[in-house]
Structure 1
Amino acid sequence: MRIAVTGSIATDHLMVFPGRFADQLIKDQLERVSLSFLADGLQVHRGGVAANIAFGLGLLGLDPVLVGAAGKDFAEYDAWLRANGVDTSAVRVSQTLHTARFVCTTDQDQNQIATFYAGAMAEAAHIDLAETAARRGPFALVHIGADDPAAMLRHTAAAHLRGLPVAADPSQQLARIDREQARRLVDGATWLFTNAYESALLRERTGWSEDDLLDRVGTWITTQGADGVSLARAGQPRLHVPAVPADKIADPTGAGDAFRAGFLAGVVWQWPDEQSARLGCALATTVLESVGTQEYKLLAPDLIARIARAYGNDAAGALEPRPAGSL
């Protein structure tokens, strides 16, 4: 069974500010911010949440189907994804627009300020997920990542109509959508992904409390950076999985996407949630240690050793058979 990964396909323009954003903000002037940060260097990498997650799943041998819209400049990126195990046959390629752009500046505290230009992503709503499922399925689940909001809503409805489990991951688009849209995106999801900030924003956007949301989803997974991951289910104790320590932090961009790839791989392999989250944390730290969201490699011995150091030999032993046979 394969995973359909829907969402953005983009090019990342990554810069580093050698200071702290917080030091540049004046408390009583926040309503009229006009700032320019002189960045050190520029790196351009492949990105987009759906492409990043699909890339990680491809490295793990899951043969994911990428569902999104890219621009007329997609040929080289397309070849890269296919070479790394991603099925791109469901990608809509625009004849007039360029692939989306993500421009992000990171400060010395790993805080980020970013802007996203949609470009060809605006055509994602023209993709028919039902037709894709008929051609490329059957799908074990459908991940609904940040995308053109109309596309996210259409894919969510199509997945529910076909009875496919949904992993709702509205992330960056929470800032764009209204209350009704937010509710439609998460209601009935088998898995809900947010980071710590987005969890609060989701409650504000939906008007639902944490208990309300847990009554409407299966498992709510909240990534918390260096503090690890929490997993919540209605009527059950919250599960916390510590992060895998990093030897160095090169760039935080894409770490959350890598976590999702690892976690969703575990779901397909029918692992317990804790085991899936541990694999996700190990992939996230691997990405933290490289610049760019798809510049990392996965070697089974290194991945298993990383998990053993973080969670113990028993945890590594439980993971070992599957990744070793998939990488």
Structure 2
Amino acid sequence: MRIAVTGSIATDHLMVFPGRFAEQLIKEQLERVSLSFLADRLEVRRGGVAANIAFGLGKFGLDPILVGAAGVDFAEYGAWLRANGVDTTAVQVSDHLHTARFVCTTDEDQNQIATFYAGAMAEAPRIDLAAIAERVGRPALVLVGADDPAAMLRHTATAHRLGIPLAADPSQQLARLDRDQARQLVDQSRWLFTNEYEAALLLERTGWTEQHLLGRVGTWITTLGEAGVSLATSGAPTLRIPAVLTDKIADPTGAGDAFRSGFLAGTAWQWPQEQAARLGCALATTVLESVGTQEYKLTPSDLIIRIDQTYGPDAARALEPQLARVP
């Protein structure tokens, strides 16, 4: 099962503020905020939601197709992705714009303040998913991740027209979408990914109730941080999967993307959703323990140990045969 991952490709500038954002905010002055945080660490890393998810799938040996727009500075990044199992032939490279930039500061409570510069991502609406499917082969699933909104809408419409199952992951772009756009992006998706905040924002944007939304998607997967994830399906009890806990958190950036990589890998291997979610949680924790979204080492034996310790030996044994074949 080959997956096309659409969305942003970016360079991450990750900084750490040795304090709490909340302590710098004055309630009576929130309408006129002018703050500067002195960070004590800077890491420049490869990122972007589509590239992060594709990277994880590539490490699992699943040959994902990365679909997005990058800039004139993409050569080194592209070589890195290809070396880690990602097909970059569908990446549109701008002839004058730079790859998108994600600038994020994290405080000691793991709260984050971020700014995203689109750069070459503005050219993403030019990408024709149908032409890519004809050129490199029809994918079994298309994930539509955060991207230029016009590109997200185009990819969604194309996947539906071609009859390709869809995973909707609007994430950061929900704030830019109107009601019709939000509905178009999630309606009839096989899987819908959000975090807890995005879940509430999605209901506000679509104007749908939770039950109405569940009636229009296959499974709604919500990541809940240290509380794990929930998998909600219309007419069935919500399934809750505990997180794989750690006391070695280095940086939360990219943990959600890693969960998606693990979950989609399990889906590609036709695992039950609960089993796929456990793998996603284990990989998310692996990323939490490293700085940068693609700097982690994917070690099958480590994932099996994490799953054993959190979910028990039976859960670990169920995943072990497939993970043992990971390159």
Shorter-chain TM-score: what band?
over 0.9
Which residue does the alignment assign to 1:152?
152
Q: How far apart, in 2, do the equivalents of 1:280 and 1:140 lie? A: 20
C-alpha distance after superposition, 1:248-285 (max 9, x if no partner): 00000000000000001111111111000000000000
Which residue does the alignment assign to 1:103?
103
Which residue does the alignment assign to 2:281?
281
Q: How many residues align?
A: 327
Report if the CA contact (8 A) 1:104-1:115 is conserved: yes
- Please tell me whether residue 265 in structure 1 is matched to residue 277 in structure 2: no
3-state SS of the aligned residue for 2:103? strand
Alignment root-mean-square deviation, CA: 0.7
3-state SS of the aligned residue for 1:14? strand
TM-score by length of 2: 0.99
CA displacement at 1:304 relative to structure 2? 0.6
CA displacement at 1:107 relative to structure 2? 0.3
Q: How far apart, in 2, do the equivalents of 1:233 and 1:31 lie? A: 40
3-state SS of the aligned residue for 1:325? coil
- Please tell me whether residue 86 in structure 1 is matched to residue 86 in structure 2: yes
CA displacement at 1:28 relative to structure 2? 2.2
C-alpha distance after superposition, 1:84-113 (max 9, x if no partner): 000000000000000000000000000000
Q: How far apart, in 1, do the equivalents of 2:55 and 2:108 lie? A: 27
TM-score by length of 1: 0.99
User: Which letter does structure 1 place at the counterpart of 2:108?
Assistant: Q
Q: Which runs of 5+ in 2 are unaligned?
A: none
Runs of 4+ in 1 over 2 A off after TM superposition: none
CA displacement at 1:247 relative to structure 2? 3.7
User: Which letter does structure 2 place at the counterpart of 1:209?
Assistant: T
Q: How far apart, in 2, do the equivalents of 1:283 and 1:84 lie? A: 16
3-state SS of the aligned residue for 2:208? coil
Q: How far apart, in 2, do the equivalents of 1:308 and 1:41 lie? A: 34
Q: Which runs of 5+ in 1 are unaligned?
A: none
Q: How far apart, in 2, do the equivalents of 1:122 and 1:324 lie? A: 40
Q: How far apart, in 2, do the equivalents of 1:269 and 1:247 lie? A: 30
C-alpha distance after superposition, 1:165-191 (max 9, x if no partner): 100000000111111110100011110
Which residue does the alignment assign to 2:17?
17
Q: How far apart, in 1, do the equivalents of 2:33 and 2:234 lie? A: 41
Q: How far apart, in 2, do the equivalents of 1:270 and 1:223 lie? A: 21
Which residue does the alignment assign to 1:132?
132
User: Which letter does structure 2 place at the counterpart of 1:28?
Assistant: E
Q: Superposition pairs for residues 192-207 of structure 1, below 5 Å?
A: 192-207=192-207
Q: How far apart, in 2, do the equivalents of 1:58 and 1:260 lie? A: 13
Which residue does the alignment assign to 2:310?
310
Which residue does the alignment assign to 2:142?
142
- Please tell me whether residue 37 in structure 1 is matched to residue 37 in structure 2: yes
Identity across aligned pairs (percent)?
78
User: Which letter does structure 2 place at the counterpart of 1:83?
Assistant: A
Report if the CA contact (8 A) 1:254-1:293 is conserved: yes
User: Which letter does structure 1 place at the counterpart of 2:85?
Assistant: G
Q: How far apart, in 2, do the equivalents of 1:170 and 1:124 lie? A: 15
User: Which letter does structure 1 place at the counterpart of 2:32?
Assistant: R
Q: How far apart, in 2, do the equivalents of 1:267 and 1:120 lie? A: 31
3-state SS of the aligned residue for 1:200? helix
C-alpha distance after superposition, 1:151-207 (max 9, x if no partner): 000000000001111000000001111111101000111100000000000011111
CA displacement at 1:291 relative to structure 2? 0.1
